[in-house]
Structures are given as C-alpha cells and as structure tokens.
C-alpha cells in the first residue's frame, strides 16, 4: 500500500491520538498566532506613525545635556554656531533628499497691516518697537516649506536660483496678508527696519534710525489646513502659530542677512560698551543658520544620525521628526518586546511538547513500524508516512488557531496597552525644536488608535511558515527513533 494512503488511513482510524495531537497543536498555535499578531500590529503602528511624523531632521543644541551640566561646566561652556560648510557637507549625504538653511529676523511696518486672526479687526496702538512680520530666509529656491506641505503656493511663483544667490528683493507672502493690505502679484510691500537704543536709567527705548525694506511680491501662499476641534486644549497654540505663519514673509537669505547686518552695525554706534565687547570677542550676528534636512524615508533617520553626529561641535545633536514616536510609544514598544519573548518561548515549547507527544506515539507503534521495515519498506517512506500524519493534523490545528489566536491577541493587547499607557503617563520638560513645524503632532491617543490587530495576507503567511516549520522540526527530532529501529529485535 502506498505510504501516503497509509498515512491518511492512520489519521482517520486512530481518532483519539489524532485529536490529542490536534488539541496540543491548537493550544500552542494560539500562543504563536497571538504573538505574531501583536508583533505585526506594533510594527504597523511604528511604520504608520513615523510616516505621519515625516522624514525631516535638523542639527540643534542638546538642551537636555546643557541642563544636566554643573555650574562650573556652564561657566566654561562655549557655544559655537554651526559652520555653513558643515551644513552643506551634511546636505550632500546620500540620505538627504533636499535641504535648506534659514536665517530669520523680525521687522515692523509703517504702511502694512499684520494679520491678527479671524474676526479680529481692532488694532492696539502702543509706543516702542513693533516687530509683527517675520522675514524667513531661504536658500532652497522651490521653498522647502511648500515642498513639505506646510504651506501651499496659491498664486505667482517660487524663487529662482539666481534670485536666491543674488539676494534679490522679492518675497512670497500669505494670501491673508495680501488681502488685508490689498496687494497683488507684482506689487511692492514695505517693511521698516528700526534700530532702538535702550536707556538703562529711565528704562525707555529710543528710536535712533531706520530704513525701509521694499520687496516685490512674487507669490502668495496659504498654510495647509489643520483640523482642530472647538475646545481642544491646543486651540490657543494653534491660533497663535497660524497667526505667526500668516505674517511670515519668505525672502532669500541674503535679504535677511543684509537687514540683520544693518541693524547690528547701527546699534553698535549707540552702545559703545557693547561695541567694545563685540570687538574683543569677535561676535557676529550673521552666522546663525537653522538647517532642515528632508531624508529619503523615515527609516534613514537612524543611519543619518549615526553618520552626522561625529561631525558636529560639542553639545549639538541630530534630531529627527521620528524622535517623537520614541517618546510616546512606550506601551507599544513594551508590547512588542513581550510578544517577542512569548513567541520565542512558544516555539521552544512547541518543539519540546510536540516532539515528546510524537515520540510517545511512535513507541506505541513500534510493532507496526517494525512490520513495515521487515516487509522491505524503506525507512525513508516510513519517515515520510509519520511526517504526513503529523503535518495533516498540524495543518488543521494551525488553520483553526489562525483565527482564534488573532481574536485572542485583540483582547489581550487592548488590556495590556491600556495598563501600560496608565503606568507610562509622565510629563517631561518640553524643548522647542525647529522640527515642530515639519511634523504632525502625534499623541499617545493617536498611537493607540493606530494599533490594530488585522488578519491580513502577511500575517497569514508568516504564521503558516513559523507554525509549520516549528511542527516540522519538532517531528523530525523523534523520527531518529525510527531510523534506529531494528525490525529483527522488534519481531522476536
């Protein structure tokens, strides 16, 4: 009789043993299935959340490290600005898709009105300097903020490379700002660069000099809409940031540098004491660039940081938009580690238990196996029959545990996630980062909402591979018993 037919007949006729083996495989399969489901879900959470956070990175001061310094270390601390050549060197790395470095300043205006927010029309008159408009310099002509979707260019055009290089007096302003001041593409908008001196005796500021900064409007942008529900605790911050962005004016870096240089040099004329300090220490106000690097993918963040960190001055660090995930996803990471340990233990336990069960069954069937061998059946075909019997039962057990293990994982993971989330609620000191504008704010609630145990193709494929391979290994080990059988001794 064909050994395949014998195998199927053995499974159907020895129902008790087949059911015992099925029950063992089903129970262990549930554990393996649940562990794989949880690991798949946590991996999907990390991928989806990091995609939302984006692939931006920057180099900035490590304020946490500075805060941990002793008073003596603070006294001896010398902070140097990032060298422009270093920024360009980092920007040429293979991980970088495109990059920009920005120099910014704030100016007022005697003729242009700033955006105050929706429904706000009354303007307050006050004495002293007014710096309502941020001139944000760019070196990347297409404007990185538009490429990354922070704003949308609605009308006009972005900068040309030659305009950026030459520092042309051109600007891109918000649509709201243009409407308030009745401006169109091709019109000029005038800002005022004012220089004030401070009287330490009276505590008053005095306008010493000023000059107009006339810029041609070449484009209009609009901030990308962000949905914030009424009453949300972040509503106030959102309104402030939106107002600030509406009053942002994009210009070439050289325009900003020119105005900062003018303001700095004019101020030194009226503060001799500070001028002496500047001359002695060689202080410069025109070498503080803020770099933003957009990487090819979020997965490049770690490799990018490892390659850049050794190039940086002391107390600088690489920050990426994906860092936010590491700070809020502790429950998910804990779940993933736990699932990994459980999976490892389940596989080892399966090999041992199934191996022991199969070995006991084989010992009970040694006379049957001895008859096959004494009748001239090859050992390989006998081994094949046993493998077939086990794998047929295993296939049924694994298929059943595929669904029940997935359901089990959903219930357990929800309970563990809620418990971990409660234990890991803490408040760290918050440091402002230049990446804040380039990443979506993600909370623990978003992470929890992204966690979903799914019965998809990748999960099914991985589970069948792991499950069947584990059963195969656990079956092969006791099959050594068959190889060592001596049919003559058995039949005597």
Cβ proximity of 193 and 107 under 8 Å: yes
In this prediction, residue 81 carries a pLDDT of 79
Cβ proximity of 183 and 118 under 8 Å: no
In this prediction, residue 166 carries a pLDDT of 94
Residue 154 CA to residue 261 CA, distance in Å, equals: 32
In this prediction, residue 362 carries a pLDDT of 72
Residue 448 CA to residue 418 CA, distance in Å, equals: 9
In this prediction, residue 168 carries a pLDDT of 95
**Most confident residue range from 67-76, 162-171, 342-351, 432-441:** 162-171
The answer to which of 22-26, 304-308, 366-370, 486-490 has the lowest mean pLDDT is 486-490
pTM over 0.85: no
Contacts 24+ apart (CB under 8 A), 200-207: 205/128, 205/129, 207/129
281, pLDDT greater than 60:
yes
In this prediction, residue 219 carries a pLDDT of 96
Residue 318 CA to residue 312 CA, distance in Å, equals: 9
Q: What is the DSSP letter of 61?
A: E
In the predicted model, what is the mean pLDDT of residues 13-39?
84
In the predicted model, what is the mean pLDDT of residues 142-149?
91
In the predicted model, what is the mean pLDDT of residues 83-96?
92
- Over pLDDT 70: what percentage of the chain? 78
Could you read off the pLDDT of 449-465 as tens digits, one per residue?
667 777 778 888 888 88
CA torsion sign for 116, 121, 122, 127 is positive
Could you read off the pLDDT of 156-170 as tens digits, one per residue?
999 999 999 999 999
In this prediction, residue 94 carries a pLDDT of 94
Return the higher-pLDDT residue of 124 and 98.
98
446, pLDDT greater than 70:
no
Return the higher-pLDDT residue of 146 and 270.
146
The answer to which of 342-346, 401-405, 409-413 has the lowest mean pLDDT is 409-413
CA dihedral 45, 50, 52, 55 (to 10 degrees): -170
CA torsion sign for 393, 398, 401, 402 is negative
Could you read off the pLDDT of 223-255 as tens digits, one per residue?
885 444 444 445 555 566 788 899 999 999 999
Q: How high is the mean pLDDT of the chain?
A: 80
441, pLDDT greater than 90:
no
In this prediction, residue 172 carries a pLDDT of 97
In the predicted model, what is the mean pLDDT of residues 418-427?
51
In this prediction, residue 229 carries a pLDDT of 45
In this prediction, residue 428 carries a pLDDT of 45
pLDDT confidence tier of residue 429, bands split at 50, 70 and 90: very low
Could you read off the pLDDT of 195-229 as tens digits, one per residue?
888 777 777 788 889 999 999 999 999 988 544 44
347, pLDDT greater than 90:
no
52, pLDDT greater than 70:
yes
pLDDT confidence tier of residue 139, bands split at 50, 70 and 90: very high
Query: Which of 387, 386, 382 lies closest to 487 in space, CA to CA?
Result: 382
Return the higher-pLDDT residue of 262 and 425.
262
| 55-99+290-320 CATH | 3.30.70
In this prediction, residue 359 carries a pLDDT of 79
- The CATH 3.30.70 domain(s) of the chain lie at 55-99+290-320
């Amino acid at each position: 009789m064909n050994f395949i037919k014998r195998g199927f007949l053995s499974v159907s006729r020895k129902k008790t043993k087949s059911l015992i083996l099925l029950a063992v495989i089903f129970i262990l399969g549930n554990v393996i299935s649940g562990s794989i489901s949880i690991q798949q879900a946590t991996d999907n959470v990390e991928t989806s959340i990091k995609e939302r956070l984006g692939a931006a990175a920057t180099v900035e001061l490590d304020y946490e490290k500075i805060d941990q310094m002793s008073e003596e270390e603070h006294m001896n601390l010398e902070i140097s600005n990032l060298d422009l050549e270093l920024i360009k060197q980092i920007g040429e790395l293979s991980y970088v898709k495109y990059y920009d470095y920005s120099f910014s300043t704030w100016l007022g205006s005697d003729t242009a009105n700033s955006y105050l927010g929706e429904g706000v029309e009354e303007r307050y008159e006050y004495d002293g300097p007014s710096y309502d408009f941020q001139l944000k310099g760019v070196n990347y002509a297409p404007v990185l903020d538009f490429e990354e979707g922070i704003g949308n260019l609605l009308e006009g055009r972005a900068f040309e490379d030659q305009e950026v290089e030459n520092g042309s007096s051109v600007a891109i302003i918000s649509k709201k700002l243009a409407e308030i001041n009745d401006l169109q593409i091709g019109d000029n908008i005038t800002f005022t660069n004012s220089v004030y001196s401070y009287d330490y005796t009276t505590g008053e500021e005095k306008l010493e000099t000023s000059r107009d900064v006339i810029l041609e409007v070449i484009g209009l942008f609009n901030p990308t809409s962000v949905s914030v529900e009424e009453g949300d605790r972040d509503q106030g911050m959102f309104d402030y940031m939106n107002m600030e962005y509406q009053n942002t004016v994009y210009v070439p870096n050289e325009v900003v540098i020119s105005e900062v240089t003018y303001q700095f040099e004019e101020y030194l004329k009226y503060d001799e004491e500070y001028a002496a300090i500047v001359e002695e220490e060689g202080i410069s106000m025109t070498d503080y660039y803020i770099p933003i690097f957009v990487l090819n993918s979020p997965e490049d963040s770690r490799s990018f940081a490892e390659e850049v960190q050794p190039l940086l001055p002391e107390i600088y660090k690489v920050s990426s938009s994906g860092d936010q995930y590491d700070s809020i996803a502790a429950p998910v990471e804990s779940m993933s580690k736990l699932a990994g340990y459980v999976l490892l233990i389940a596989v080892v336990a399966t090999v041992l238990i199934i191996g022991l069960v199969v070995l006991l069954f084989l010992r009970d069937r040694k006379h049957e196996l001895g008859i096959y061998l004494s009748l001239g059946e090859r050992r390989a075909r006998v081994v094949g029959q046993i493998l077939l019997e086990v794998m047929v039962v295993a296939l049924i057990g694994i298929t059943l545990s595929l669904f029940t293990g997935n359901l089990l994982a959903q219930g357990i993971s929800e309970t563990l996630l809620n418990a971990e989330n409660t234990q890991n609620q803490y408040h760290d000191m918050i440091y402002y980062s230049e990446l804040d504008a380039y990443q979506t704010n993600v909370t623990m609630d978003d992470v929890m909402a992204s966690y979903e145990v799914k019965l998809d193709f990748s999960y099914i494929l991985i589970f069948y591979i792991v499950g069947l391979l584990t059963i195969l290994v656990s079956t092969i080990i006791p099959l050594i018993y068959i190889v060592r059988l001596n049919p003559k001794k058995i039949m005597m």
